[in-house]
Structure 1
Amino acid sequence: MTGPLHWLLDAHLEVAGTTVLWREIVGNGFGLASALLGIRRVVWAWPVGMFGNALLLTVFLGGMFATPQALDLYGQAGRQIVFFAVSAYGWWSWARTRRAGSAAQGGAVAPRWATGRERLAMLGVAVLTTVLAYPILQALGSWGPLPDAWIFVGSMLATYGMARGWVEFWLIWIAVDAVGVPLLLAGGFYPSAVMYAVYGLFCGWGFVSWLRTSRASQRVSSPAVPSYAEAVA
């Protein structure tokens, strides 16, 4: 294979005797940019993230593409496809909310806590899909199938939660990062591992930011109850 496509697939660095793909560095850079835009609730968070997903899909199917990083992490690869699909929904949803002018404090979505029913649904989906994904990933030969299954499922839930504007999605991302960092380090995906670690810090920042916005919006939508003296005056 020659030409620009060959360069895109093969371009890499050697860091301490380890092959690091430029695609992985650039793809994770777009992922981090998407997170920053997500904290600010900017619609562009979605298309920026989708471009990074496309690059990272080729990274985690290294064996299939016969590139220097030859491990296959099917859960990691599969989540890029899910990211892309859910991001299309998030892009549409945030753009619609933005046009309607119903978001909070200038953002494209109004952050809120999920309801009790929504949380139970998330928990049920998390358990069921992890149980289903594990044997599938194991049969496919994914490296580290159990943590890979949780990373896949947790990422799917977090992305959907972001699209819906649920504050909890930041906490799900932190749980994904806690599993993803050691897995990626063990597999030699060092840029992705570093990005996960940095992303975990940004998730903490994003959680605090969205929490403050949701509380401010709640105060605005729930005016103070007048005192007895004011009521009878």
Structure 2
Amino acid sequence: MDLVHWLFDAQIVIGAQHLLWREVLGNVFGLLSALGGMRRKVWAWPVGIAGNALLFTVFLGAVFGTPNPVNLLGQAGRQVMFILVSVYGWYRWTRRDGAAATTITPHWASGRERLLLVVALVGGTAALTPLFTALGSYAPQWSDAWIFMGSLLATYGMAKGWVEFWLIWVAVDVVGVPLLFSAGYYASGLMYVVYGAFTLWGFFVWRGQRVRPSSAVVVEG
């Protein structure tokens, strides 16, 4: 219990700013999970789940009584979504039933699929904004809704092998960085800057693999 209390109460004080260790550790775990995922390491999944769980408590600041009493419901909701996806991914990667690998060939989405992505992103953001407003999410609520919908669609696009999913992450980061800084989540805001650069790099890598028909991304399952 002492460790739990420390984890919830520990802070880094920089001038008048309070930075939660939970936020720092959650983002570090997220980065480690991303690096492990690139190398197809099974441990990437539980590490990512631990980071998502920590960040869930961080982004419900008003609920958990942190020094930054701000709720970002879209950010908190996406952590739940990531945990659910990670549980499935962890299960798939630890199965050894003769189908050891799944080959995913990066490809562009069709014109119709791109249109559906745009409609879902804009329409979902518009639909969730009043809900997040009513629930007391941090303003501007449309930013939080945009981040949630973008994260959902980017995860779906990655599963489909669409090159465009990297650009959706870029769109999430562009909105997420100023929102997180304005809400006082400085560690997460800085991590979004790192993720933004990483997603741009990933886009060009996948685009290069797409133009070589013989190439593929192999994901251990």
Q: TM-score range by the shorter chain?
A: 0.7 to 0.9
- 1:191-233 CA distance string (max 9 Å, x none): 00000001101111111222223333x1469xxxxxxxxxxxx
**Contact between 1:86 and 1:160, CA under 8 Å: does it hold in 2?**
no
Q: Report the alpha carbon displacement of residue 41 of structure 1 after superposing the two structures with TM.
A: 5.5
Gaps spanning 5+ residues in structure 1: where? 222-233
Q: Report the alpha carbon displacement of residue 167 of structure 1 after superposing the two structures with TM.
A: 1.8
**Contact between 1:97 and 1:103, CA under 8 Å: does it hold in 2?**
no
**TM-score between both structures, scaled by the size of structure 2:** 0.85
**Contact between 1:21 and 1:69, CA under 8 Å: does it hold in 2?**
no
Gaps spanning 5+ residues in structure 2: where? 217-221
Q: Pick the aligned partner of 2:165 from 169, 179, 194.
A: 169
Whole-Å Cα distance in 2 between the matches of residues 50 and 110 of structure 1?
27
**Contact between 1:93 and 1:163, CA under 8 Å: does it hold in 2?**
no
Q: Report the alpha carbon displacement of residue 3 of structure 1 after superposing the two structures with TM.
A: 2.2
* Richer in helix (by share): 1
Q: Report the alpha carbon displacement of residue 44 of structure 1 after superposing the two structures with TM.
A: 4.8
Whole-Å Cα distance in 1 between the matches of residues 12 and 98 of structure 2?
44
When residues 154 and 99 of structure 1 are mapped into structure 2, their CA distance, relative to the original with a 3 A threshold, is: farther
When residues 146 and 128 of structure 1 are mapped into structure 2, their CA distance, relative to the original with a 3 A threshold, is: same
Name the SS of the counterpart of 1:100 in structure 2. coil
Whole-Å Cα distance in 1 between the matches of residues 146 and 107 of structure 2?
25
Whole-Å Cα distance in 2 between the matches of residues 213 and 37 of structure 1?
21
When residues 118 and 95 of structure 1 are mapped into structure 2, their CA distance, relative to the original with a 3 A threshold, is: farther
Whole-Å Cα distance in 2 between the matches of residues 175 and 132 of structure 1?
18
Code of the residue aligned with 1:199 in structure 2: it is: Y
| Larger Cα-atom Rg | 1
Whole-Å Cα distance in 1 between the matches of residues 117 and 4 of structure 2?
40
Whole-Å Cα distance in 1 between the matches of residues 179 and 173 of structure 2?
10
Q: Does 1:71 align with 2:66?
A: no
Equivalent pairs: percent with the same residue?
A: 54
Q: Report the alpha carbon displacement of residue 95 of structure 1 after superposing the two structures with TM.
A: 6.5
**Larger deviation: 192-201 or 119-128?**
119-128
Whole-Å Cα distance in 2 between the matches of residues 171 and 102 of structure 1?
26
**Contact between 1:154 and 1:176, CA under 8 Å: does it hold in 2?**
yes
Whole-Å Cα distance in 2 between the matches of residues 51 and 78 of structure 1?
15
Name the SS of the counterpart of 1:112 in structure 2. coil
Alpha-carbon RMSD: 2.6
**TM-score between both structures, scaled by the size of structure 1:** 0.81
Tell me the residue number matched to 2:112: 117
